[in-house]
Each structure stands twice: as C-alpha cells, then as structure tokens.
C-alpha cells in the first residue's frame, strides 16, 4: 500500500513538473518590485550602441518616473530569431524592438506590429529622408521609426600609418584610387597579403555597385520595381569591380568568410576599405586605435560624374502588438526620435541622422567633424527598393564570386540571370502605398 | 493486473513528454508545410500541396539532397571503418589503463560543443589567413588557398571535421561490442589455426552484428541531421551550394528568407528520407540479437 502510494505520488510529481515547465506567468503590465512599470527594449550586441540606448532610457526614466526601461542586448546572429519568437508569444515579450531594416519586411508583412501613431507618422513623411523610411511602410501605414540613415557608401577607412610609411597621399579621384590600390597590393595565390582598396564584403559590394551604376546616370530599378543590372552602366560597373579582384588589388576572403573589409585596414593588412561611418567606432573601441593617428575616415572617390547612391533602410524601432505597454512604448520612441535625443544617439553611435532637419545640425557637425562630409551627399541618395536585401545579397554575391573565379566573360548574361532571380525571389510581398 | 497499473502510471509522464515535445512538433510541422506560414501573422494562407510541388522544381533543394546523401554515405562509411579499426586496436592493448586512456582521448572531441570546435577548425585549420592547411601548403612551397571558394573540397573538409568530432562514441560502442563477444569462439578458431585477421573478419565481426546494426542506423540517422558544422563552415551553402545540406537549407529558408511553410515541406522531405533509409538499413542488417 505504501509502495503504491509513493509511486502514485512520484507519478503526479513528474507530470506536474512537466505541466509547470510548459506554463507561463501572467504578466500583462510588467511591474518591478518598486512599483514602476517596466518597458523592455531589445537590441543587438554593439557596445557603443547599447551604451547610447541605456543613456536615452535613463533620460526617459527621469522624465517619466513611473516607468523603468530595461535594455537587453543579444548577439546579432540569434537576434532576428529571438524577435520572431517574441512576436509569436502572447506574453512577456519586448515592448520596443530595434530592428535592422533589411530584416524588417519579415515582421512588417505579418500583423504582429503596432502602427506608428499619427503624430509620429506625420513627422516621418515630412522630416525623414526617403531611404530611411522606405521599408517601414505597408499599404500606406508605417510600422517602424528609423534611428539612422544607413549609408554603406560614401566614406572609407584608411590606414594612415601605412599611407604615411609609403609616402602616398589619399586618392581623390577614381583613377588615383585604382592606381594607388594596384601599387600597394600584394597577392599570394588566392590570398591577398596586402590589400589596396577593398569593397568586397557582404555589405559594401552591392552598395558600391549600385552607386557606380547611378553615378553614370544609369538605373537598376525598372518602373515596375523589377531589377535590371544588365544595362550598359551595370555591365561597365561590374567589369570594373571584377577587375579589382583579377588585378590582385583585393581578394574574396571577406565575402566568403562573412567578415567586413575594414578589419583588414585596422589589422594593417589593407590600405582602404569602403564602409559606413559606424565602423569608426569599431576602430576606436574594438581595436583600441586612435583616430587621426592610426586611421582616418575620408570620402570614397566618386566613380561617375554625378553623386548618387542607393541606400537600404537602416536600424529602426518597432513596437510589437503583443506589448502590454504599447502607448508608453511609442511615447518612448517619440522621446528617442526627438531631434535633440536622436542627434546625441547618432553621435554616440557614429551614425548618420535620418532627419532632414538634422542635416544642418551644428551639434552634429561639431561632434563629428570627420564624417560631416557625408551629410552633404545624403540628399543624393535613393532607396534601394522593395526587396529583402539579405536574400538579394546572397544571389548577387554568388554571381560575383562565379564571375571572379571562372574565366566566364559573359558579364551581361550573369547580370541578367541575377536580376531575374532577385526580382522573382526577393521582392517584398506587400505594397508600400 | 496490479503490475499493469503500476507500469501505466510510471509510463504516463514519459508518454506525455513524448507527445508534447516529439509527436506534436512533428505533426505541427507537417501541418505548417501546407500553409504560407508566418508565425507572427494571425492569418496564414492554405496552399495545399503547393510547397511540395515547389520542391520538385527547386534546384537548391535537389543539390541539398545530393550533398546530404553524399555526406552521409561517405562520412558514415568512413566513420564505421575507422572506429571499427580503432576499437580493434584498443581491444588488443595489453593493459586496462591504456585502453581507458585511448578511449578517453578519442572521446574528448565528442564532449566539446560542436559549434566551438567547428569555429576552431574554420579559423585555425581551414582559415585563409594563417590556417594550418595553408601553412602546410606553404611548407610545400605552394601558395595559400581560400578553401571557402572551393566546391567538393569544402564538403570533404566538413566530412573530415565530422569524423574527428564524432568517432569517439562509436569507438566506445564497438570496443564494448568486441569485448562482449564470448572468448570461446575466438579461442576455438585460434585452435583451428585461424590468424588474428581471419578471426576478426570471420568470427568477431559477424557476432557483432547487433552492435554493427545499432551503430550504423544511429550514425546514419544522426548524420542526416547534422547542422552546426555546416552552419559554421558554409552558412550560405558554400560556393554554388556545394556544401548545402538539407538541415542548413531548412534553417536558411525559415530564418533568413522567413519562408516557414516551405521550410517545413523541406523538413518533411528530410523526415521521409531518414525514415526510408532507416527502414532499408533495418531490413538489410536484420541482426541476430543472441550468440546462440
């Protein structure tokens, strides 16, 4: 009898532990022990960015003493999966999510996000540059608020020490750039031992290529928003980039390893790398280098006659529909987007401001003299287009590697095929207007 | 009767656990494969068999099927041959201490997290800049290579890594299998004049059929589901998808393209392949579970 009782008890305990493990606590309004309502802010790991988010959160808490903002950061590799899981959850998810524009469509096409309030939406229409808001709109409604102007084109990190040692000045024209690049680079087999000008990584390659098309007066977006790289300008630009690899100025290592080219410059293995201004922070914080002594950030010489480039929507903020504090979350985003706070965040993160009204900001120019030259070109940018840019890059990069690796000279055919694939497979399923 | 009730009571938690964490997800995944599924949407369109029809014309899917089969056949065969050889060597070592020492050495990579060791191999062994392979090429006077630009070579590297990381388990199983064969058979064959190789091939190996069947089926099923090393070495599938396997394609389709319905159809195809292969293996290796 005793045995029977014990076995029945054990059975109940085991079953109960299963049920308990699967349960969730009710958590509608998340209140901390001090009685404050908690807003959870999710972002990806990036030291200066997280520091800045926390600073804005502190300021917000001072103005709203009943609220506490908890900033949680996750490695970028798992971040999007976490967001997706959180959006499917009924409870206990984040209230505010920082999202990379390239990944935003997957979340926007669902109905799991809260709409941007009217007052903020009006600001987005009036004061934000077009490339910064493009992806956040679905059928005329905004679902995200940009924090930055994402520009992967326009500036390059240069290794000052290597330039000084070689007694060479920074190139000012495209021809000078290619000439310096050829002069300083050194190849050994497949591998470049010293790289000249680098733009061949997952982020920079397509951005530079599109800029090169547009600067020649060409266009890659057709009227129906389909992609066509196989234009005379597209073919010329592609031949130019392929020749950089074939001439041994750089290699495909970063593209195949999924690394950024600027790392080579910081590691004294490259002279110049085209990258967004955000990479300056990596040099000073991650590599502990000194700006002005070890490296500098200067304009990339223009390829064509007029300044033009395409940009994808960068990092922005969203509020999930399952947040129990949607109104307050939007209030936080409104606070964050306030020009005074936003410009401080952009400065802290080496980002470019997304708002037109900040293009003349003295505060920004004073704090960021090294990248203020980029502010002048921002109005020349167009939105990259309604595409899943991660998948677009996969197809584009594969085509590029094939062109570099084989003796195949049918650049036009390769561009046509890639254009068709991208249009078929990567176009966003919803309309913007 | 009393005993039945007790057994039922003890089994209930395990059955509930299996239903919730094994049967339900498989059934749910199968259900998802008939939809244009986005977990964050409240409405998902029913597509019927569209996702399965798409599989038939998806070039990358068929490359992934081919690579998965090549990987499994080559890696499982190599694994069994190597582990059997090592197990035999260990079994003839003179002292128990030496046997334990070698078994432990071979088992260490199995304890290490596969993502961590894959990273070490990716950058330390195969890395373009200063990787061991390129250093060896350098010593032979050859220029370094970017191994991630290769096709079949990258898949071969992943197979070698998998063997390094995984042989410990099977060495332990085969050692136990060899030691489990009654010594009388071996001794009788030795008296009849059979040499050590003949005794191993004709006596021990057939008597180990149950261990052999278990190892082959489990390793094959396990290798069909290998994912971490592919995600580390070739997250995009490598050049021209030469190292794209079904598990990585499922991950890429669901978490990069966010096409979860289609990814579930690919997962269902993988499930069917593993199931069929396991059934065939089971039939072919019908083991006699006794030494009678």
Beta strands in A21-63 (DSSP E): 37-44
The pairing of beta strand A295-299 with beta strand A309-311: unpaired
CATH number, domain at A224?
Answer: 3.40.190.10
Residue-wise pLDDT for A68-105, tens only, equals 999 999 998 889 888 988 888 776 689 999 999 888 88
Give the chain B residue whose CA is nearest to the CA of A104.
Answer: B258
Which chain B residues are within 8 Å of A192, Cβ to Cβ? none
- A136 and A260 both lie in a single domain: no
- A168 and A288 both lie in a single domain: yes
pLDDT exceeds 90 at position B1 = no
Domain count, chain A: 2
> What is residue A193's three-state secondary structure?
strand
**Total Cβ atoms within 10 A of residue A76:** 12
Contact status, residue B32 vs residue B266, Cβ threshold 8 Å: no
Residue-wise pLDDT for A386-408, tens only, equals 998 888 998 999 999 999 988 76
Asked if residue A23 is part of any domain, the answer here is no
Contact status, residue A101 vs residue A313, Cβ threshold 8 Å: yes
- A283 and A393 both lie in a single domain: yes
Asked if residue A317 is part of any domain, the answer here is yes
Which chain A residues are within 8 Å of B128, Cβ to Cβ? 190-191, 253, 257
Which chain A residues are within 8 Å of B142, Cβ to Cβ? 189
Contact status, residue A86 vs residue A94, Cβ threshold 8 Å: yes
Asked if residue A330 is part of any domain, the answer here is yes
Which chain A residues are within 8 Å of B130, Cβ to Cβ? none
Contact status, residue A350 vs residue A278, Cβ threshold 8 Å: yes
Distance (Å, whole) CA A44 – CA A35: 28
Residue-wise pLDDT for B167-198, tens only, equals 999 999 999 888 888 888 888 888 888 888 88
Chain A: closest CA distance from residue B149 (Å): 7
Mean per-residue pLDDT over chain A, rounded: 89
Task: Spell out the residues 6+ positions from residue B285 whose beta carbon is closer than 8 angstroms to its own.
Answer: B209, B212, B213, B216, B217
Torsion of CA A219, A220, A225, A226, to 10 degrees: 150
pLDDT exceeds 70 at position A218 = yes
Mean pLDDT (whole number) for B49-68: 95
Residue-wise pLDDT for B149-164, tens only, equals 898 999 999 999 999 9
pLDDT exceeds 80 at position B144 = yes
- A306 and A316 both lie in a single domain: no
- Give pLDDT, residue A27: 46
- Give pLDDT, residue B68: 96
pLDDT exceeds 90 at position A285 = no
Chain A: closest CA distance from residue B13 (Å): 5
- A165 and A136 both lie in a single domain: no
Q: How many CB pairs under 8 A join A and B?
A: 93
- Give the range of the structural domain holding residue A401, as residue numbers without chain letter: 155-311+386-426
**Total Cβ atoms within 10 A of residue B173:** 19
The pairing of beta strand A67-74 with beta strand A141-142: unpaired
Determine contact: A239 vs chain B, CB below 8 A: no
- Give pLDDT, residue A84: 84
- Give pLDDT, residue B3: 77
- Out of B13, B146, B239, the one facing A18 most closely (by C-beta) is B13
Distance (Å, whole) CA A216 – CA A304: 5
- A338 and A283 both lie in a single domain: no
- Give pLDDT, residue B37: 87
- Give pLDDT, residue B96: 87
Residue-wise pLDDT for A153-176, tens only, equals 999 999 999 999 999 999 999 999
Q: Which residue has the higher pLDDT, B68 or B210?
A: B68
Q: What is the CA radius of gyration of chain B?
A: 23
A87 and B258 within 8 Å at the Cβ level: the answer is no
- Give pLDDT, residue A242: 95
Mean pLDDT (whole number) for A343-352: 92
- Give pLDDT, residue A23: 46
- A259 and A377 both lie in a single domain: no
A15 and B134 within 8 Å at the Cβ level: the answer is no
- A211 and A283 both lie in a single domain: yes
Asked if residue A171 is part of any domain, the answer here is yes
Distance (Å, whole) CA B241 – CA B62: 10
- Out of A109, A390, A401, the one facing B239 most closely (by C-beta) is A401
Residue-wise pLDDT for A307-337, tens only, equals 999 999 999 999 999 898 999 999 999 999 9
Give the residues across from A68 on adjacent strands: A38
Q: How confident is the model at residue A199 (pLDDT cuts 50, 70, 90)?
A: very high
Torsion of CA B128, B129, B133, B138, to 10 degrees: 120
Residue-wise pLDDT for B219-257, tens only, equals 998 999 999 999 999 988 998 899 999 999 999 998 877
Task: Spell out the residues 6+ positions from residue B230 whose beta carbon is closer than 8 angstroms to its own.
Answer: B158, B243, B244, B245, B247, B248
Give the chain A residue whose CA is nearest to the CA of B143.
Answer: A189
Distance (Å, whole) CA A339 – CA A360: 12
**Total Cβ atoms within 10 A of residue A8:** 13
Contact status, residue A32 vs residue A38, Cβ threshold 8 Å: yes
Which chain B residues are within 8 Å of A418, Cβ to Cβ? none
Domain boundaries, chain B: 60-285
A15 and B13 within 8 Å at the Cβ level: the answer is yes
Task: Spell out the residues 6+ positions from residue B234 whose beta carbon is closer than 8 angstroms to its own.
Answer: B148, B154, B158, B242, B243, B244, B248
- Backbone φ/ψ region at B279: left (φ over 0), alpha (ψ -120 to 50), beta: alpha
Question: What percentage of chain A reaches a pLDDT higher than 90?
Answer: 68
The DSSP letter of residue A42 is E
- Give pLDDT, residue A320: 93
Mean pLDDT (whole number) for B79-90: 93
Interface residues on B facing A, Cβ-Cβ cutoff 8 A: 6, 9-10, 12-13, 16-17, 20, 38-43, 128-129, 134, 142-146, 148-149, 235-236, 239-240, 255-258
Contact status, residue A263 vs residue A200, Cβ threshold 8 Å: no
Contact status, residue B178 vs residue B91, Cβ threshold 8 Å: yes
B39 and A87 within 8 Å at the Cβ level: the answer is yes
- Alpha-helical (H) ranges within B145-227 are 152-180, 183-191, 196-199, 205-207, 209-224
- Give pLDDT, residue A26: 43
B143 and A109 within 8 Å at the Cβ level: the answer is no
Asked if residue A167 is part of any domain, the answer here is yes
- A322 and A391 both lie in a single domain: no
Chain A: closest CA distance from residue B39 (Å): 6
Task: Spell out the residues 6+ positions from residue A431 whose beta carbon is closer than 8 angstroms to its own.
Answer: A138, A139
Q: How confident is the model at residue B51 (pLDDT cuts 50, 70, 90)?
A: very high
Distance (Å, whole) CA B271 – CA A37: 46
Q: Which residue has the higher pLDDT, A409 or B56?
A: B56
- A244 and A103 both lie in a single domain: no
Report domain B60-285's class.
mainly alpha
Mean per-residue pLDDT over chain B, rounded: 89
Which of B40, B45, B121, B233 would you mutate first to test chain A, the one with the most A CBs within 10 A?
B40
- pTM value is 0.81
A191 and B13 within 8 Å at the Cβ level: the answer is no
Mean pLDDT (whole number) for A373-389: 92
Distance (Å, whole) CA A163 – CA A203: 25
pLDDT exceeds 80 at position A237 = yes
- A397 and A360 both lie in a single domain: no
Asked if residue A2 is part of any domain, the answer here is no
Quote the ipTM score: 0.74
Mean pLDDT (whole number) for A10-21: 53
- Backbone φ/ψ region at A372: left (φ over 0), alpha (ψ -120 to 50), beta: alpha
- A337 and A277 both lie in a single domain: no
- Alpha-helical (H) ranges within A338-370 are 339-348, 362-367
Chain A: closest CA distance from residue B247 (Å): 16
Chain A: closest CA distance from residue B258 (Å): 6
């Amino acid at each position: 009898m005793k045995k029977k009782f014990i076995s029945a008890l054990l059975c109940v305990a085991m079953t109960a532990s299963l049920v308990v493990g699967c349960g969730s606590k009710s958590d509608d309004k998340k209140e901390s022990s001090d009685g404050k309502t908690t807003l959870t802010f999710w972002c990806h790991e990036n030291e200066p960015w997280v520091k800045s988010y926390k600073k804005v959160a502190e300021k917000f808490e001072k103005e709203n003493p009943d609220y506490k903002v908890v900033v949680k950061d996750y490695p970028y590799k798992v971040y999007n999966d976490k967001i997706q899981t959180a959006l499917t959850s009924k409870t206990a998810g984040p209230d505010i999510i920082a999202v990379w524009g390239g990944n935003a469509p997957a979340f926007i096409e669902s109905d799991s996000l809260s709409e941007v309030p009217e007052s903020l939406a009006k600001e987005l229409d009036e004061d934000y540059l077009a490339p910064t808001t493009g992806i956040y709109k679905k059928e005329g409604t905004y679902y995200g608020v940009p924090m930055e102007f994402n520009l992967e084109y326009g500036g390059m990190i240069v290794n000052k020490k290597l330039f000084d040692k070689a007694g060479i000045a920074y190139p000012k024209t495209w021809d000078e750039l290619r000439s310096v690049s050829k002069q300083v680079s050194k190849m050994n087999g497949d591998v470049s031992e010293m790289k000249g000008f680098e733009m061949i990584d997952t982020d920079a390659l397509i951005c530079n290529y599109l800029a090169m098309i547009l600067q020649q007066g060409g266009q890659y977006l057709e009227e129906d928003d389909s992609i066509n790289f196989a234009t005379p300008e597209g073919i010329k630009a592609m031949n130019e980039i392929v020749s950089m690899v074939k001439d041994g100025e750089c290699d495909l290592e970063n593209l195949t390893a999924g690394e950024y080219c600027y790392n080579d410059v910081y590691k004294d293995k490259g002279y110049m790398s085209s990258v967004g201004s955000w990479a300056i922070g990596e040099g000073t914080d991650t590599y502990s280098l000194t700006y002005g002594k070890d490296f500098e950030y200067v304009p990339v010489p223009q390829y064509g006659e007029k300044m033009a480039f395409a940009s994808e929507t960068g990092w922005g903020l969203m509020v999930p529909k399952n947040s129990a504090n949607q109104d307050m979350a939007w209030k936080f985003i409104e606070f964050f987007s306030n020009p005074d706070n936003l410009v401080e965040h952009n400065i802290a993160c080496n980002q470019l401001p997304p708002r037109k009204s900040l293009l003349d900001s003295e505060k920004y120019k004073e704090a960021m003299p090294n990248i203020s030259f980029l502010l002048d070109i921002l109005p020349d940018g167009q939105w990259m287009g309604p595409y899943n840019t991660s998948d677009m890059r996969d197809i584009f990069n594969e085509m590029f590697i094939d062109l570099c690796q084989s003796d195949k000279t049918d650049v036009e055919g390769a561009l046509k095929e890639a254009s068709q694939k991208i249009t078929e497979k990567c176009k966003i399923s919803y309309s913007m207007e | 009767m009393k005993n039945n009730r007790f057994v039922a009571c003890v089994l209930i938690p395990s059955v509930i656990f299996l239903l919730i964490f094994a049967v339900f997800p498989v059934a749910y995944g199968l259900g998802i494969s008939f939809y244009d599924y986005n977990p964050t949407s409240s409405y998902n369109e029913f597509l019927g068999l569209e996702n399965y029809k798409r599989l038939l014309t998806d070039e990358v899917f068929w490359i992934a099927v081919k690579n998965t089969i090549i990987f499994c056949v080559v890696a499982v065969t190599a694994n069994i041959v190597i582990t059997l050889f090592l197990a035999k060597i260990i079994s003839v070592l003179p002292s128990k201490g030496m046997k334990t020492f070698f078994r432990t050495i071979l088992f260490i990579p199995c304890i290490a997290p596969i993502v961590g060791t894959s990273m070490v191999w990716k950058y330390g062994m195969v890395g373009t800049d200063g990787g061991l392979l390129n250093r060896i090429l350098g010593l032979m006077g050859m220029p370094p290579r970017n191994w991630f630009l290769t096709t079949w070579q990258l898949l071969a590297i992943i197979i070698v890594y998998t063997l390094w990381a995984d042989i410990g388990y099977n060495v332990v199983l085969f050692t136990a299998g060899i030691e489990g064969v009654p010594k009388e058979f071996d001794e009788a064959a030795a008296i009849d004049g059979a040499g050590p190789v003949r005794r191993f091939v004709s006596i021990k190996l057939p008597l180990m059929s149950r261990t052999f069947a278990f190892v082959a089926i489990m390793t094959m099923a396990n290798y069909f589901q290998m994912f971490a090393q592919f995600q580390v070495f070739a997250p995009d599938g490598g050049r021209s998808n030469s190292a794209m396997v079904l598990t990585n394609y499922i991950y890429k389709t669901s978490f990069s393209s966010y096409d979860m319905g289609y990814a579930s159809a690919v997962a269902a195809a993988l499930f069917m392949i593993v199931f069929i292969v396991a059934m065939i293996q089971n039939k072919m290796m019908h083991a006699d579970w006794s030494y009678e």
